[in-house]
Structure 1
Amino acid sequence: MRRGLILLALFGIVGCRPKDARAEGASTETRQSEMSVQNSNPSPMPGVPKSATVAEAAVPDLPGPERAAAASARVKPALKLELAAKGLRAGDPVFIRIFKEERLLELWIRKRETRKYEFFRSWPVAAMSGELGPKLKEGDGQAPEGFYVVTPERMKPDSQFHLAFNIGFPNAYDEAHGRTGTFLMVHGNAVSIGCFAMTDPKIEEIYTLCADALAHGQPFIRVHSFPFRMTTERMAAAAGEPWEEFWKNLKEGYDRFETDRVPPNVRVEGKRYAFDP
């Protein structure tokens, strides 16, 4: 633990930002993440050895490509068995949904026979900051809500939080509304400000499935982040909330997938999300 903290102090490697970000000045989210790691000693998360503290887990042990390959070798045999049991295959297109209130990340995989997406598995979000509602500005500590895409260049095998991918905030909708923020990730470890921390063992599974899909030709991975499961009952309970109208717009995309089991194509028109027929 002492060695890990010394390395953190020397190199400043904790946070969701890339390694060269300090040359540009760390964001509020990054500084808060560093304070959280250095001033806390949380209980180990399930699947993380007691000796693997948050600070020590943030120190990369292998270069990015080698780290991702080692993770894949660890998790892929069991993943392939589980996929086969559901008639699914590694490397086929994937789709991610995140539910902030439930603190869950779901991964769906397209079935070859039907070309519909089938639920594969969900993982608990280990750490996430802020309240229900979208991210508005750099430093507010909010996790994003909306429709995002992960392109190959947004994969971060060299993440300071083990493995990660950038969800692409701000998107065109966020920019149309003047929202700001950078390096919003799904990553390993169990501490985060503004990102979705999944723990190292869980991100290895999620990252491996996403990397395989991109390597087999999926051009980008859709990540839909919702405040909660947008059922009729839950939306009724949200009546009168400040973000009710925004959430109703999100629900249009949520309902499309619930009905079709195919992620909708999303665009922005008149500062609203719009969906292809």
Structure 2
Amino acid sequence: MTLYKMKKQYFKNMNRLLSISTAIILFWGCNQAQVQNNNSAIEKDSIVSNQEDDQPAFFAKSVLDEEDIKLNDVADISGQKENTVSFIDQRIEALVGSSMKKWCEDKGVAYPPQYVMYRVFKYDEEIEVWAGKSNTDSLTLIQTFRICAMDKFPGPKNTEGDGKTPEGFYSCSNLYGSSYGFMWIKLNTGDVDEYGEVGGGSSFKLFVNYPNNVDRNRITRNFPGRKTGGDICIHGNCVSAGCISFKNRVFLAVYGFQRKHNSAKYGNIQIHIFPYRFDKHNAETFFEYSDYMALDKEVLIKFWDNLKEGFDKFNETHKPLKVTQSGEKYLFN
């Protein structure tokens, strides 16, 4: 199947999914309206009120996006060296540190946390930030954020240039400086949301250590001669060719938590990247796209079952996983 046909089929299938989702939402909305019509006028007014305290529990927002993150007013940055590590750390703390502190304290976690971990769910377009005091204690879910741009289509990265976001168990480290504008953010309260440009502000990102040995072994066996690709990063400016990208103020919070992680004591921060939430979606939903994902169904099932092992194990204990690799498989101790 040609790339054109694969993309055409992809968008056709995604439109089908969108139509189904819209129908479900409309059906749910009609049922809700019928229930609300049985309530008093006062109760109905409270349902549509813009006052946060008036909203019923089912309107509570569980995934935060750009509009949910308030930036603090900070002093002018003219004359400062905006691309130094110390400046970036101090500036992010000044802009969003109070929100990060409140999120931790609301969950009973001391700020700054000593141990931080991420979990990404591609199809759901979400990243979870977990934190605690060490790598042996149970972690607490601090916040879930909306991912703005990424390959959300389930299936691992299999070759250089395929635009896919990897799936698996990785770690990430800091990188600074870039010749790409989308890696730059102006750390001034009124400028954060502007699209980046080279040399304009500060350049910082998280580098994911893809490919690992599991990736290399899978690709070598299933696609002999292919290059694995790489340079998968987490960054701002909402643009992606396989990276995990956020709106800028969301990225400040995600990145800010990584900077609190005690890497000197616990090593680089863990990031688990899953195709979808295994407790929410069924793999059968995605098998019709196997041509686009470029793996045989049996290989894909085996791979996802292995990822689900790690997903389930962490869900049972909320403790950081000790992950090793053997052939095309992850092992969890």
Q: Which residue of 2 aligns with 1:175?
A: 216
2:96 maps to which of 75, 91, 98: 75
- Are positions 1:267 and 2:308 aligned together? no
Residues of 2 paired with 1:82 and 1:251: CA distance? 28
Radius of gyration: which is bigger? Answer: 2
Q: Which residue of 1 aligns with 2:174?
A: 155
How far did residue 206 of structure 1 move?
1.1
How far did residue 128 of structure 1 move?
0.9
- Tell me if the contact between 1:238 and 1:244 (Cα under 8 Å) persists in the aligned partners: no
- Are positions 1:62 and 2:45 aligned together? no
Which amino acid counterpart does residue 142 of structure 2 have in structure 1? F
How many residues align? The count is 216
- Tell me if the contact between 1:64 and 1:156 (Cα under 8 Å) persists in the aligned partners: no
- Tell me if the contact between 1:68 and 1:157 (Cα under 8 Å) persists in the aligned partners: no
Residues of 2 paired with 1:109 and 1:166: CA distance? 20
Which amino acid counterpart does residue 220 of structure 1 have in structure 2? N
Residues of 2 paired with 1:230 and 1:215: CA distance? 29
- Tell me if the contact between 1:93 and 1:109 (Cα under 8 Å) persists in the aligned partners: yes
Which amino acid counterpart does residue 235 of structure 2 have in structure 1? H
Relative to structure 1, the CA distance from residue 87 to residue 208 in structure 2 (aligned partners, 3 Å threshold; closer, same or farther) is: same
Q: Which residue of 2 aligns with 1:41?
A: none
Deviations 1:164-219 (A, max 9, x none): 10111001211222361221011111111100101211111111111111357331
Residues of 2 paired with 1:46 and 1:260: CA distance? 31
Which amino acid counterpart does residue 89 of structure 2 have in structure 1? A
Q: Which residue of 2 aligns with 1:257?
A: 314
Relative to structure 1, the CA distance from residue 233 to residue 227 in structure 2 (aligned partners, 3 Å threshold; closer, same or farther) is: closer
5+ residue gaps, structure 2, are 1-64, 69-80, 185-203, 221-226, 291-296
SS in 2 for 1:83: helix
- Tell me if the contact between 1:103 and 1:125 (Cα under 8 Å) persists in the aligned partners: yes
How far did residue 262 of structure 1 move?
1.1
RMSD: 2.5
SS in 2 for 1:120: strand
Residues of 2 paired with 1:64 and 1:193: CA distance? 27
TM-score (norm 1): 0.71
More helix by share: 2
1:247 maps to which of 304, 319, 325: 304
Relative to structure 1, the CA distance from residue 124 to residue 196 in structure 2 (aligned partners, 3 Å threshold; closer, same or farther) is: same
- Tell me if the contact between 1:130 and 1:194 (Cα under 8 Å) persists in the aligned partners: no
Q: Which residue of 2 aligns with 1:8?
A: none
1:223 maps to which of 268, 271, 274: 271
How far did residue 138 of structure 1 move?
1.1
1:128 maps to which of 123, 139, 150: 150
- Tell me if the contact between 2:235 and 2:246 (Cα under 8 Å) persists in the aligned partners: yes
1:184 maps to which of 232, 235, 238: 232
Residues of 1 paired with 2:67 and 2:263: CA distance? 27
Q: Which residue of 1 aligns with 2:40?
A: none
Residues of 1 paired with 2:260 and 2:100: CA distance? 12
- Are positions 1:94 and 2:134 aligned together? no
Residues of 2 paired with 1:272 and 1:78: CA distance? 39
Q: Which residue of 1 aligns with 2:11?
A: none
How far did residue 64 of structure 1 move?
4.1
- Tell me if the contact between 1:95 and 1:109 (Cα under 8 Å) persists in the aligned partners: yes
Q: Which residue of 2 aligns with 1:211?
A: 259
How far did residue 78 of structure 1 move?
2.1
Deviations 1:146-177 (A, max 9, x none): 00012xxx202435523310111001211222
Residues of 2 paired with 1:69 and 1:183: CA distance? 27
How far did residue 67 of structure 1 move?
2.7
TM-score (norm 2): 0.59
Residues of 1 paired with 2:279 and 2:152: CA distance? 22
5+ residue gaps, structure 1, are 1-44, 49-60
